[in-house]
Structure 1
């Protein structure tokens, strides 16, 4: 026979539930963040972006310092954006940094994500050739063997650069290579040229290559852009934790944007194995705030819209991308307000020119 609880028994049961409640509420949570690049020698760090700063400076980990129930895990991918998409599709990531083209491809293929803020925006494209090459610029690439990593935002930017110079990929002998393979092939004179990033600056500094062209100083719409995203499943289940992560990345973006921190920033990024002098050259003649703005302003929104259309036109997508509701700046806006950053970054129009100037 079940006996009714005594007053003492009810009190004891209430105390037991009260003690157990925090443990039940604070069930362990692992937040998995992906990055579409990897450091030298497979180091789990990167450079060039506010998300890279957040990683090297442990901004996210510090934001959750009072939450022992939360664990932060970072994953860096040699396979860049396509590898990040695969990990998202397999349910292995909650947040990720990647360029616009792989994000668009993921969106077109049904990946359910939200773009939270810009990171790695306004990146320049570089073209490197052998030091003695007769290639003076993009217009001289017709019929040449050129390295380019397909499926990355560099491919889409390069396609726009080629189009601006009256060419297309069909006019070149494209060799699909990641950055490490491309630099090795260029140094070994196995290819005529390579499109890429800071690795090409290093080759020039070593005297084994020459930068023949960069989008720096050219039309800003020819550059590369990236964003920090979250899966719809994670943000629906953990809106508070999503806000904390965004707060941390926005704080990293602010620090990365301040000119007084320029040298400290380049030194911080050496955790990736990239020497500081490489990023000194990479960011030369450009403001840190321009490169590290997290804003999805008119420029960034138009870029993603144009990139989706261009990717379809160039055959990089099989179907149009519906971007309705994809960009969600609500978390960014709350972070800006909390950190008094509503007017910290300049907004730009679709043409790349400052608004309100």
Structure 2
């Protein structure tokens, strides 16, 4: 009787238990679209999300479930989630928050560049007396503190003879900064392509862009995996990188220019803003997964500046952070080893890449 009960109980438990253990593959993205829409923009990560390319890599593995979380609090909020063990991948995480996280012991590995040469725009009210970066002295300026926007802004100020001590900064996220600028609660705001549509309609005026300045200015971001996940699931990590390289390839192809802008428009920003943002610029210039001398130099420089500015307390080992074996394999598998242009540490182009050579041959 007792044996029969145990057998029956075991059979019942087997009936309700899952056939196989589910593996969650948790991706975090540092930002949202307008009105907190769960869509990114401006990078190939957002393309991979909309086209569900990561999910496609696991179509034959129903036990793997891919989840995405979009953080309105950007990099700092994503770092908190990483520290709490709630994410496996940080996709598109900006350089400063990633460096801060590493300095505080977050065990991540840098898999690929997720964006580079991302320009910074300085927006002011249309009737403002501010006409240059130098004119910002003693004014109230919105800045998303703790994100890659902060250290990028600091570098712009430094290049124009100013520092944070000369500015009255107000820490606001992108949506709040835009509202504060339009309402007149701040005198200026540093940001990205979110200001271009407002400028088109005369709501704000763009008075400066890093696109016309030193090529090492601007913002950079990366694709990261937690060390624990990579160690436990190297095969899954490889698939994720394969997916995002496919996204980058799609995004870098000029034949897909309008499609890319329409994908980003799911964020709530109009496609026309991205057309303006990328005017006279090739998509491949920014949408590249390649870790070249430029990327390595930028992260080393940003780490040094973060310490000098008091944003971190100790040196950060950058060289050991890069784990590009998965990227190299994905590029080889997809025959894209020489597809993207590469740049030296000072931001000067070293090679055009096959994407540029193909364009030149067809012109």
TM-score (norm 1): 0.92
- Correspondence for 2:60 among 63, 66, 76: 66
1:41 aligns with 2:10: no
Q: Which residue of 2 aligns with 1:322?
A: 317
Change over 3 Å in CA distance of 1:356–1:288 after alignment to 2: closer
Contact 1:183–1:203 (Cα < 8 Å) also in 2: no
> What pairs with 1:52-201 in structure 2 (closer than 5 Å)?
52-97=46-91, 98-201=93-196
Paired residue secondary structure (2:142) = strand
Q: Which residue of 1 aligns with 2:253?
A: 258
Shift, 1:24, TM fit: 10
CA–CA distance in 1 between the matches of 2:196 and 2:151? 21
Shift, 1:245, TM fit: 0.4
Structure 1 stretch displaced more, 59-68 or 82-91:
59-68
Contact 2:111–2:327 (Cα < 8 Å) also in 1: yes
Shift, 1:216, TM fit: 0.6
CA–CA distance in 2 between the matches of 1:355 and 1:121? 15
CA–CA distance in 2 between the matches of 1:272 and 1:204? 18
Q: Which residue of 2 aligns with 1:333?
A: 328
CA–CA distance in 2 between the matches of 1:80 and 1:224? 14
Contact 1:131–1:208 (Cα < 8 Å) also in 2: yes
Q: Which residue of 2 aligns with 1:353?
A: 348
CA–CA distance in 1 between the matches of 2:267 and 2:45? 13
Paired residue secondary structure (1:119) = strand
Change over 3 Å in CA distance of 1:30–1:192 after alignment to 2: same
CA–CA distance in 2 between the matches of 1:82 and 1:29? 26
> Which consecutive aligned stretches of 4+ in structure 1 deviate over 2 angstroms post-superposition?
23-27
> What pairs with 1:270-309 in structure 2 (closer than 5 Å)?
270-309=265-304
1:268 aligns with 2:263: yes
Shift, 1:206, TM fit: 2.6
Shift, 1:324, TM fit: 3.7
Change over 3 Å in CA distance of 1:356–1:35 after alignment to 2: closer
User: What runs of 5+ residues in structure 1 fail to find an aligned partner?
Assistant: 1-19
User: What runs of 5+ residues in structure 2 fail to find an aligned partner?
Assistant: 1-13, 353-363
Paired residue secondary structure (1:225) = strand
Paired residue secondary structure (1:31) = strand
